[in-house]
Structure 1
Amino acid sequence: MKKIKNIKHVTAKAENGTCKKTEIKIGDITVGKDFLVIAGPCSVESEEQIMTVAKAVKDAGVNMLRGSVYKLGTSPYSFQGLRKVELQYLSKAGMETRLPIITEVLDPRDIYLISEYADAFQIRANNMQNYSLLVEVGKVKKPVLLKRGMNATIKEWLNCAEYIMNAGNPNVILCECGVQTTDTYTRTPLNLSAVTVAKRLTHLPVIVDPSHATDCVELIRPMTLSSIMAGCDGVIIEVHPSTCDAFSDIEQKLTPDQFKDLMGDIRETLTFRDNLNEHYKKKN
């Protein structure tokens, strides 16, 4: 495996002949040890909506709740989010379901407000190289989920993680969410080889976002299960109680019932992967 130069904190370091992997404690889960399933709506639209989703995904067995409160889209006229009000709704949903919450941060000026409510920050793909933002979340010890930019190389992605860690925050989770190609059927086709490469090059947990990458409900299940077999440490999936009424990204949201079925498949695939890995170890 080729090395990436000038990355001090992110690259894997061997200790006693093995690579020591980073484990990140968030609430009652340990990312990197426990398989992380983050679910919830793309945007928090109302208190009723986020509470309905939170209870549904909790019952399905997730261990973290997502929801964006600062929703700046490609159009300035699209839904922009309710901001502090949404944060309060999201926080309430997390407390009532006892799920840690993660939400996007877009601007360094919002970090400390969001940190009062959220258990972890998410850096969206098109903000990956917002270096001033990376440095500022690096000054806060809350975990950071860093999505790979759709046109970013693996080296660029890891260098952005290095910005966060070099500023003092070791709690980084890498997230593969697809790369830009000439194909237009999916938004950004998943590059699952990047999951395996990142797992080999770094000591950081690596998760996958099949919702954003596929932008297609029918593709979420197969890409989720493929991601698990590629070795990911978790997935982040969009769930909405009434997908046809969602304010954004209607095509990539699962209903609570669809998500519940997917969670059953996730458990079975994880068991299969664990058994396969155990068989491989014994064989070698």
Structure 2
Amino acid sequence: MIIVMKREATGEMIQHAAEKVEKLGLKAHVIQGTERTVIAAIGDKREEMRESFETVAGVSKVVPILAPYKVASREVKPEPTLVKAGSLEVGNGKCGVIAGPCSVESEDQIVETAKAVKAAGATALRGGAFKPRTSPYSFQGLKEEGLKMLATAREETGLAVVTEVVASEDVQLVAKYADVLQIGARNMQNYRLLEEVGRVDRAVLLKRGPSATIDELLLAAEYILNEGNSRVMLCERGIRTFESHTRFTLPLATVTYLHQKTHLPVVIDPSHGTGHAALVPDMCVAAVAIGADGIIVEVHPEPDEAMSDGYQSLDLPTFAETMKRCRAVANAVGIQCGADV
């Protein structure tokens, strides 16, 4: 249920109401809105305890949360959430741009890419140090050495680092180097991993599984939010369908639908969503036009030489040209896309 506080409710009143929620065996999530504060009371006993809150000082009303996902719902927080992580800002009218190679291959490669994507207007650097691959014989990433290279690229450029964490036991290690922890599509329903990233002070980019429904994506986000981490970004990276002309099918309608259901920002991944570099620029532009809160794009200095996903990676000049097109569309629809250059 949602406990809606009065506009004039003091900090002490809000704290008292939250403490009462906790004493009754529920979990309290205090959410500061632009006009008033609400407290989401999460737990199995929430409905039967509704009446006990209606007379608490400072409480305006108590209403049930109808959506199966509670903290992620717009019922709890009508205003869109802006997620900040270093140089990256995503949501509430700001379209963040995360760009970089699928895998970190060397310090020269990641630093060169970071400088180029920043010059083109990217606001964060992506790069995989831990790589979950379909085949055990494929390149698995440089692991901590790759993380150190990403940190060096951040020192050189100031770009926030976005990188994937693939196991709960690696969360603390990856958080030591990264600004944003990415949960890949294969791990969207790895609930122990979701809980672990919910306990660290790092923003999270949660990718939709290739066969997951929207409700399953939002409930996965709920695991992270329920642990107290409010900096969650949802990522549409394409789903499996009967089509074979692209690697996955990228449903841009997901952006509009999620904006109606959740306050969390929505990022589009056109690289995995199409699997073909030639299709990525147009899908980046379309994502900005539909109102996406961010795009995450694979970019490599020499895609033909990439150790993973070179076929869907943009080269540096193509990414720069794509950013020009994205900014033009963003100006037309009244949002900010990437950094000013």
Deviation at 1:141, TM superposition (A): 2.3
Q: Tell me which of 89, 97, 103 is aligned to 1:30.
A: 89
User: What residue is the counterpart of 2:209 in the other structure?
Assistant: 149
Deviation at 1:230, TM superposition (A): 1.6
Distance across 1 between alignment mates of 2:283 and 2:231: 26
1:254 aligns with 2:314: yes
**How far does the alpha carbon of each residue in 1:41-100 deviate from its partner, in whole angstroms, 9 at most, with x for none?**
000011111011011101111100000100121000000111010000011001110101
1:81 aligns with 2:151: no
Q: Higher helix fraction: Structure 1 or Structure 2?
A: 1
TM-score computed with the length of structure 1 as normaliser:
0.92
Deviation at 1:14, TM superposition (A): 6.8
**How far does the alpha carbon of each residue in 1:116-138 deviate from its partner, in whole angstroms, 9 at most, with x for none?**
11001001111101111001001
Q: Tell me which of 102, 108, 111 is aligned to 2:162.
A: 102
Secondary structure of the residue aligned to 2:177 is coil
User: What residue is the counterpart of 2:152 in the other structure?
Assistant: 92
TM-score computed with the length of structure 2 as normaliser:
0.77
Deviation at 1:28, TM superposition (A): 3.7
Q: Is the 8 A contact 1:141 1:170 kept in 2?
A: no
Distance across 2 between alignment mates of 1:28 and 1:90: 14
Secondary structure of the residue aligned to 1:35 is strand
Alignment of 1:170-185 (within 5 A): 170-185=230-245
Aligned length: 270
- How many percent of aligned residue pairs carry the same amino acid? 46
**How far does the alpha carbon of each residue in 1:147-176 deviate from its partner, in whole angstroms, 9 at most, with x for none?**
111100000000000011011111100000
Distance across 1 between alignment mates of 2:179 and 2:75: 28
Alignment of 1:1-284 (within 5 A): 5-13=67-75, 19-33=78-92, 34-274=94-334
My pick for the range that moved more, 21-30 or 194-203, is 21-30
Q: Is the 8 A contact 2:120 2:323 kept in 1?
A: yes
- What amino acid sits opposite 1:32 in the alignment? G
Secondary structure of the residue aligned to 1:116 is helix
Note closer, same or farther for the CA distance 1:4–1:268 as it changes in structure 2 (3 Å cut): farther
Deviation at 1:193, TM superposition (A): 1.1
Deviation at 1:254, TM superposition (A): 0.4
- What amino acid sits opposite 1:224 in the alignment? C
Q: Higher strand fraction: Structure 1 or Structure 2?
A: 2
Distance across 1 between alignment mates of 2:66 and 2:325: 36
- What amino acid sits opposite 1:11 in the alignment? S
Which ranges in structure 2 are unaligned for 5 or more consecutive residues?
Answer: 1-64, 336-341
- What amino acid sits opposite 2:67 in the alignment? K
Deviation at 1:32, TM superposition (A): 1.1
- What amino acid sits opposite 2:70 in the alignment? K
Q: Is the 8 A contact 1:105 1:122 kept in 2?
A: yes
Distance across 2 between alignment mates of 1:185 and 1:4: 39
Distance across 1 between alignment mates of 2:270 and 2:88: 22
Q: Is the 8 A contact 1:4 1:155 kept in 2?
A: no
Q: Which runs of 4+ in 1 moved over 2 A?
A: 3-6
Structure number with bigger Rg: 2
- What amino acid sits opposite 1:26 in the alignment? A
Deviation at 1:5, TM superposition (A): 2.9
- What amino acid sits opposite 1:86 in the alignment? G
**Does 1 or 2 have the higher relative contact order (CA < 8 Å, sep 6+)?**
1
Distance across 2 between alignment mates of 1:140 and 1:14: 23
Deviation at 1:27, TM superposition (A): 1.4
Secondary structure of the residue aligned to 1:73 is coil
Note closer, same or farther for the CA distance 1:4–1:129 as it changes in structure 2 (3 Å cut): farther
**How far does the alpha carbon of each residue in 1:229-284 deviate from its partner, in whole angstroms, 9 at most, with x for none?**
22110100000011111001121000000000001001001011128xxxxxxxxx
Which ranges in structure 1 are unaligned for 5 or more consecutive residues?
Answer: 276-284
Deviation at 1:29, TM superposition (A): 4.0
Deviation at 1:200, TM superposition (A): 0.9
Deviation at 1:30, TM superposition (A): 2.9
Distance across 1 between alignment mates of 2:76 and 2:264: 13
Deviation at 1:21, TM superposition (A): 1.2
Distance across 1 between alignment mates of 2:210 and 2:66: 20
